């Protein structure tokens, strides 16, 4: 893993942007793997402000809440449109369909999308408990897209974006860890003290399904961009 320490999320967004830009200019990107959450917002601001053209690219997102319509302002569809897609049109934007009638079929459909659109660069945030996408602790490293039950800790952390905690969906569709590891390059972003323990476990801890992001140690092209607070527990 390559670790890049930055001052704050603005500098982190800028670094991630530069990596993506260089790969795009070199002609290495057909599909971008994208993430939601507040962490990638500064990166998306950079992409929007840039003169990069995404109209020949596809995007594949990590996850979506089960039970939210794409127009719902808490859905990840809505988030992505607001922060990136409305400003920067892509050829195709793929996300799981939170309203799919048949969860198993939806997961199979999404796995086919990932197979048809190999991810060149995957952007990741990280949950306070070390989750990536919505792969909660003890998700199998061999897992593909599945419907997952969110942990209390994730529901609590994500409730800040909802009016009340009871409004947070209890389930989500998430790309699996196996699919995430198939991306050619992975950029993990983490900012703030609440991410320090997860970052320590991800980078210096054992590779264990108890810390989903520790699976990234098995990938040979991972860049971790952390601010000073998120890096404060690292010893090396
Ligand atoms: C959600 C998303 C993750 C994201 C995490 C952290 O659970 N499914 O992809 O990494 O939140 O969010 P934030 O960046 O807001 O801390």
The rounded distance, in Å, linking the Cα atoms of 169 and 82 is 20
Of all residues in the chain, the percent with pLDDT exceeding 90 is 99
Q: Ligand 1: distance of its center to the CA of 79 in Å?
A: 12
pLDDT, average across residues 51-64: 98
Rounded to the nearest integer, the mean pLDDT of the chain is 97
The protein residue whose alpha carbon is closest to atom 12 in ligand 1 is 37
What residues are labeled active site?
Answer: 63, 129, 131, 136
What are the pLDDT digits (tens) for 89-98? 999 999 999 9
The residue extents of the domains of the chain are 2-224
Q: Ligand 1: distance of its center to the CA of 118 in Å?
A: 22
pLDDT, average across residues 213-217: 98
User: How far is residue 190 from each of residues 3, 30, 102, 146, measured CA to CA in Å?
Assistant: 11, 25, 34, 24
Whether 35 is in the pocket of ligand 1, judged by its Cβ within 6 Å, is yes
What are the pLDDT digits (tens) for 146-189? 999 999 999 999 999 899 999 999 999 999 999 999 999 999 99
pLDDT value of position 70? 96
Whether 64 is in the pocket of ligand 1, judged by its Cβ within 6 Å, is no
Q: Is the CATH number 3.40.50.1360 carried by domain 2-224?
A: yes
Q: What is the dihedral of CA 202, 222, 36, 189, to 10 degrees?
A: 70
pLDDT, average across residues 92-121: 98
Q: Ligand 1: distance of its center to the CA of 154 in Å?
A: 9
Q: Mutate which of 33, 35, 80 to test ligand 1's pocket (most atoms within 8 Å of Cβ)?
A: 35
Q: Ligand 1: distance of its center to the CA of 36 in Å?
A: 6
Question: Would you say 94 and 113 are in contact if contact means Cβ atoms under 8 Å apart?
Answer: yes
Is the pLDDT reported for residue 236 higher than 90?
Answer: no
Task: For strands 92-94 and 58-61, give the pairing.
Answer: parallel
Q: Note the pTM of the prediction, 2 decimals.
A: 0.97
């Amino acid at each position: 893993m390559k670790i890049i320490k930055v001052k704050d999320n603005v500098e982190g967004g800028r670094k991630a942007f530069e990596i993506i830009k260089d790969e795009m200019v070199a002609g290495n990107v057909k599909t971008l793997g994208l993430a939601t959450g507040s962490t990638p917002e500064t990166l998306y601001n950079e992409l929007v402000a840039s003169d990069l053209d995404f109209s020949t690219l596809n995007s594949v997102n990590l996850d979506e809440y089960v039970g939210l319509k794409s127009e719902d302002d808490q859905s990840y569809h809505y988030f992505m449109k607001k922060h990136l897609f409305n400003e920067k049109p892509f050829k195709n934007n793929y996300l799981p369909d939170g309203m799919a009638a048949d969860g198993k079929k939806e997961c199979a459909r999404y796995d086919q999308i990932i197979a048809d659109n190999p991810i060149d660069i995957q952007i990741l945030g990280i949950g306070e408990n070390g989750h990536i996408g919505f792969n909660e602790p003890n998700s199998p490293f061999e897992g593909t897209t599945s419907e997952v039950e969110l942990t209390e800790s994730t529901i609590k952390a994500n409730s800040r974006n909802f009016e009340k905690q009871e409004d947070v969906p209890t389930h989500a569709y998430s790309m699996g860890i196996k699919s995430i590891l198939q991306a050619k390059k992975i950029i993990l972003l983490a900012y703030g003290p609440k991410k320090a323990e997860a970052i320590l476990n991800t980078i210096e801890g054992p590779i264990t399904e108890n810390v989903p992001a520790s699976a990234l140690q098995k990938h040979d092209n991972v860049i971790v961009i952390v601010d000073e607070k998120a890096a404060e527990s690292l010893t090396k």
